[in-house]
Amino acid sequence: MADDEIQEAPQAASGKSKMIIIVVVVVLLLGGAGAAAFFLLASPESSVTAEGEEAVVEEEVVVKAPAQYVKLKPITVNFTEKKKQRFVQISPSLMTRDPAMVLAIEENIPLIENSLLLLFSAQDFAELKTRAGQVKLREDALLEVQKLMKDEVGKEAVERVLFTGFIIQ
């Protein structure tokens, strides 16, 4: 009988320690699950104010319309560099996302092409041979077309000017 009591005592202690470990693990799991649920389910648009009320911040979602392109005729400009005749031919395309502006752009193509021709012919030929010069020309062309369209239709209408062809001879 003494042997039985000696063997039961370690089992009883072992059973209590197992129960304590299980309780601790369950409490930790519940705490972790609660924290995870809080972070996952809390909406990023809401925040708690000083009074404890939730203030919802509305985010404006901007959905861009698909891009539409209006291709212009290639514009050829001649330059004189070191007593030699040089030519630059640029094929511009205009990008807009407003379908109503496509028609407005097409109605003003002669005016746009004229403005671009004057802009292109005022450039320095040596600068046009560099990538930086071509990027600057494209940015200047965008500003010119946006200003022109704002004067004509009241909206800038054009989001980008693209050079689909750029030939230097």
Residues 83-122: tens digit of each pLDDT: 899 999 999 999 999 888 999 999 999 999 999 999 999 9
Please indicate, yes or no, whether residues 84 and 152 belong to a single structural domain of this protein: yes
For range 30-47, the mean pLDDT: 65
Domain count, the chain: 2
- Cα angle 25, 16, 1 (rounded to 5 degrees) comes to 155
Q: State the pTM of this model.
A: 0.60
Q: For residue 62, is it within any domain? A: no
70/98 Cα distance (integer angstroms): 12
Are 88 and 77 in contact, with CB atoms under 8 Å apart?
Answer: yes
Q: For residue 63, is it within any domain? A: no
Please indicate, yes or no, whether residues 129 and 91 belong to a single structural domain of this protein: yes
For range 60-71, the mean pLDDT: 82
**Amino acid letter, 12:** A
Which tokens hold the place of 74?
A: 């290639």
Convert the pLDDT of each residue in 115-144 to its tens digit. Answer: 999 999 999 888 999 999 999 999 999 999
Please indicate, yes or no, whether residues 146 and 78 belong to a single structural domain of this protein: yes
Expressed as residue numbers, the domain containing 40 is 2-56
Please indicate, yes or no, whether residues 48 and 91 belong to a single structural domain of this protein: no
Please indicate, yes or no, whether residues 160 and 89 belong to a single structural domain of this protein: yes
Q: Is 6 left (phi over 0), alpha (psi -120 to 50) or beta?
A: alpha
Please indicate, yes or no, whether residues 48 and 112 belong to a single structural domain of this protein: no
Please indicate, yes or no, whether residues 24 and 94 belong to a single structural domain of this protein: no
Kindly indicate the confidence band of residue 59, based on its pLDDT and cuts at 50, 70 and 90.
low
Buried b / exposed e over 6-41, threshold 16 CB at 10 Å, is eeeeeeeeeeeeeeeeeeeeeeeeeeeeeeeeeeee
